[in-house]
Every structure is written in C-alpha cells, then in structure tokens.
C-alpha cells in the first residue's frame, strides 16, 4: 500500500498525517509506504513547522527528518491513495489528474470533513493532531 498525504504547504498538516500513519503502520508490522507533499511550492526542502514537530514529539512521533516536497502529476503513478486535507487541496490535486483512474485515487483524508489549517492559529495544532491520529487508526483498520 502506497499512500500520499497532501496539504497546502507540506509543513503543518500532511507531515503529521505522514508521520503518524507511518508510525502506526510500522508498529503493526505493515509494509506500507507513506509520504507527503504540498500543492504550494514555498516550503520545498524545509523541515516541518516547529509546532507540528513539537506536538508530534509530545506523542512520541518523530517527524523532524521530513522535508517538504511539491505535489506534481508524476506522483499519481506511484501512490494507490492520495489523501488531501481540505477542499482546496482536493481541487488543486484533481485538476492535475489526467485519467479516471488517477482521479479515483484522490479523496479527503477525513472523508466528509476537512483538517483545518493550523498555520495561523497555534491553538489548532493539538486538535489537528488528535483528529489526524484518530483517522490514521481507522485507515490502519480499513486497509490492513
Ligand atoms: P499546511 O499549512 O498546508 O498544513 O502545511 C500551511 C503552511 C504554510 C502556508 C500555508 C499553510 N503558507 O502560506 O506558507
């Protein structure tokens, strides 16, 4: 199973989804590949936001070695599932899909809800962590 987590900057939300699912999959002995990318290119090569690193560390998940990547259409061929954090991410990824098969790989990470962007609101990092962790547990159960 190959899963790509996508948000806007690839420094706050998708690094958490990437790190948490990778952590849980490894704990369960699952041979999954999990990565993340951003639809925006401002942060390419950077570490995750210090606030995401800190909240993950609090729950013993180390995301500090991740580096931001930019989403591009070559990634459709690599991943089975491309999970996006909000509706704008969904639009930005979907418009780069060229086949129905590629479109079918794209879904909202939370299915009927969005993961709010915590970048401008420090108080959101903790609830965002919790909602991402809970969904990652579900994904392990659903796709294992
Ligand atoms: P993310 O949050 O999409 O969860 O990584 C953001 C990070 C940076 C910016 C926007 C959102 N930015 O505008 O630089």
List ligand 1's pocket residues with C-beta within 6 A. 7-13, 38, 42, 117, 119
18-40: b (≥16 Cβ within 10 Å) or e = bbbbbbbbeeeeeebebbbbbbb
Fold of 2-143: Rossmann fold (3.40.50)
DSSP conformation class of 2: E
Which residue in 87, 137, 127, 75 sits closest to 111, CA to CA?
Answer: 87
Annotated active-site residue 51? The verdict is no
Rounded distance between C-alpha atoms, residue 131 and residue 127, angstroms: 6
For the chain, the structural domain boundaries read 2-143
Q: pLDDT by residue (tens digit) across 27-81?
A: 999 999 999 999 999 999 999 999 999 999 999 999 999 999 999 999 999 999 9
Residue 123 to residue 50: CA distance in whole angstroms: 14
Per the annotation, the verdict on 112 as an active-site residue is no
| pTM of the predicted structure, to 2 decimals | 0.98
What is the CA 142 to chain-centroid distance, rounded?
17
């Amino acid at each position: 199973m190959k899963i790509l987590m996508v948000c806007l900057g690839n420094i706050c939300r998708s690094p958490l989804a990437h790190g948490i699912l990778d952590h849980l999959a490894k704990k369960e002995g699952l041979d999954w590949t999990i990565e993340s990318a951003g639809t925006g290119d401002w942060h390419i090569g950077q570490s995750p936001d210090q606030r995401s690193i800190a909240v993950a560390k609090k729950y013993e998940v180390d995301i500090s070695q991740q580096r931001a990547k930019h989403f591009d259409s070559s990634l459709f061929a690599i991943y089975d599932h491309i999970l996006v954090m909000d509706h704008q991410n969904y639009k930005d990824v979907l418009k780069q899909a060229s086949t129905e098969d590629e479109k079918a790989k794209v879904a909202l990470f939370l299915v009927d809800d969005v993961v709010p962007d915590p970048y401008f609101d420090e108080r959101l990092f903790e609830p965002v962590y919790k909602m991402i962790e809970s969904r990652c547990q579900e994904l392990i159960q659903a796709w294992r």
